[in-house]
Amino acid sequence: MTSVLAGFAVIAIIIAAGWLVGRVGVLGEEPEKQLSLLVFYLLTPALLLHALATTDVTVLFSSRLWVSAGSALAIGAIYYVIVRGFRRRPMGDATIGALAASYVNSSNLGIPIAVFVLHDTSYVAPLLLFQILIYSTIALTMLDVAEFRDSPEKTQPIWRTVATPLLNPIVVGALLGLAISVAGWHPPDWLMSPVKLLGDASVPMALVVFGLSLGGVRVLQKGEAPRRDIALATVLKMIAMPVLAWAMSRFLFGQSGHALFAQTVTAALPTAQNVLVYGLRYNRGVILARDTGLITTMLSIPAIMLIAALLT
């Protein structure tokens, strides 16, 4: 448990640093918007390119992938159907909410937990690659379509609408990294070292953006925060998703012991800060993403401890 708490402490300190910088005001007004664009257009694509270029993609086809992908897609779809079909939320807001309910913090928290608690990073790798290659692509496509629909001048041809997601920098970075890995090419250090340095800045910068977004605001503020949507996303993320991952691992793939524990813990990771970055980029569901990310991060500590007590 000490290693779990240490991982959360690192995250909390970086978020607090971002909040403090925002409170002091040394970066001017609304710095989170500009920094989120830096994360979106440069740092995250570099992270994904390097991660995929140096990863054995055969790990994608293990049972761990199907549990991670199945539970995330199912929970995201449940949220989307509820808020889009019954609460009539706009497509973009519903998409960000679906991500908040199912897109886990697989990098800056998942990797430390995989190393210090699960003692095996292969439990996080399939989820990380699935979110990068498939889930992000689906979500960003929906956000691009929603943005186009809301445009006052819908003069963009159909082919451009279809091609737009493929021009998204995050998708481009992921596809380039995957192509390098599949081709078996080993780029020279002088080329990959700058990419790695930029990618290494993605996670802490995303956390700083999260901290900046907390300045001068109150979580679940009445009249501003969509409390019901946040509550739904939180319940789905911290309760339904781990239970579903446990059930799939146990009954569909016959896992037990450490493998079952690891798969359940992975699903119980909190909402990723990338969701807030996406929300800021498309100006959709920003408060929902911010509040859900903060609440699930706080709840994930007792949730992982409970899972450890029940399954180990």
Compute the distance between CA of residue 17 and CA of residue 39 in angstroms, rounded to an integer.
17
In terms of residue numbers, what domain contains 103? 2-311
Question: Given a cut of 90, is residue 219 above it in pLDDT?
Answer: no
Ranking 33-37, 110-114, 153-157, 199-203 by mean pLDDT, the lowest is 153-157
Residue 150's pLDDT is: 67
The values of phi and psi at residue 271, to 5°, are -60, 135
Question: Given a cut of 70, is residue 4 above it in pLDDT?
Answer: no
**Total tally of structural domains belonging to the chain:** 1
Question: Given a cut of 90, is residue 47 above it in pLDDT?
Answer: no
Q: Within 13 Å of residue 241, how many CA atoms lie on the same side as its CB?
A: 38
The distance between the two most distant Cα atoms of the chain, rounded to a whole number of Å, is 58
| Close Cβ partners of 224 (under 8 Å, ≥ 6 residues apart) | 287
Compute the distance between CA of residue 33 and CA of residue 117 in angstroms, rounded to an integer.
34
* Helices 189-200/44-53 angle, 10° precision: 130
Is-contact 105 299, C-beta < 8 A?
no
Q: How many residues does the chain have?
A: 312
> pLDDT tier at 238 (50, 70, 90 boundaries)?
very high
Compute the distance between CA of residue 179 and CA of residue 186 in angstroms, rounded to an integer.
11
CATH number of the domain bearing residue 91:
1.20.1530
* pTM of the shown model: 0.78
Compute the distance between CA of residue 22 and CA of residue 32 in angstroms, rounded to an integer.
9
